[in-house]
Amino acid sequence: MTSTAHGKVILLGEHAVVFGADALAASLSPGVECIARPSPGGTVLAVAPWGVSFRPDDGSELGRAVGDLCAAMGVRDAALALTLHLPGGGGLGSSAAMGVACARALAEMHGRTLRDDELLAFALGWEKVFHGNPSGVDHTLAALGGIGLFNRATGLRRVPMRGALRLCIGDSGERASTREMVHRVARLRERLPAATDQTIESIGAVARDGALALQEGDAKSLGNFMNLNQNLLAALLVSNERLEDLCAAARAAGALGAKLTGAGGGGCVIALAPGREDDVLAAWRAAGVDGRVVEVGR
């Protein structure tokens, strides 16, 4: 049986959520699929379409993550086959989705169905391997799906929508370590605590206001909040020239709002452009970026 997990997009609230502020996030499908079988040759994780396999003792983060997960779940000698529909390191929650799908598959292999709290605990352990101090938003959306405000203290509070939310997603092609980007903001906070905390609080407020706009079906206001959030993220030094150019191109093509999604320093950008999605994708293609239109929060 195939076990699945969602990807995610952060609509509003990157980085601030690490420090206890709210973030507005939505699930993205398809994300990751996993099949687990007993393996007499020891535990191995094969990832398609990478064409690479990982083992607990190979020194890689993925190898360590699958080894820690198997140990936590009391599982030995499993062969896991992952099919990944998300770009690795693109800010769409690929690592969390892999952890959730693997945990579900290992439980299925032994005839178990994990409770939500069990699944989230196993997935959090997986995420700590990659990110050190994860906010929790990625693996929560990977496991539970939907759309809502996430806070480290209160978890996911779902936000009802009046209709489907369609976004353009484009991959900048650049990559940066999530761990390093989080550390960058932490170092900025050490140097400029008052200014950084004010920016973090502002991002949290934008996320809450954006949730109200989403609930009311106010696309124009939601787009404005996305643009404001992008400016605040730039103030935290997690944007770069490539991301700014792609956001500007989307807005020039008719997007109501555009911003990076995820840790920044590279990865993906998202744009809200009702009725103008094809124009945004064309603008990104002209900039050398392939994009797609997705429906999030299902």
> Please, which contacts does 201-204 make with residues 24 or more away whose CB atoms are closer than 8 Å?
201/16, 201/21, 202/232, 203/12, 203/13, 203/14, 203/15, 203/16, 203/21, 203/229, 203/232, 203/233, 204/13, 204/16, 204/17, 204/21, 204/22, 204/23
Which are the contacts of 59, defined by CB distance < 8 A and separation ≥ 6? Answer: none
Given the residues 22, 68, 77, 138, the one annotated as active site: 138
Closest CA to 24 of 158, 121, 182, 142: 158
248: Cα separation from own chain's centroid: 22
Is 171 a catalytic site residue? Answer: no
**Separation of alpha carbons 33 and 264, rounded Å:** 26
Gap between the Cα atoms of 37 and 60, Å rounded: 22
166: β partners:
295
Active site (catalytic) residues: 138
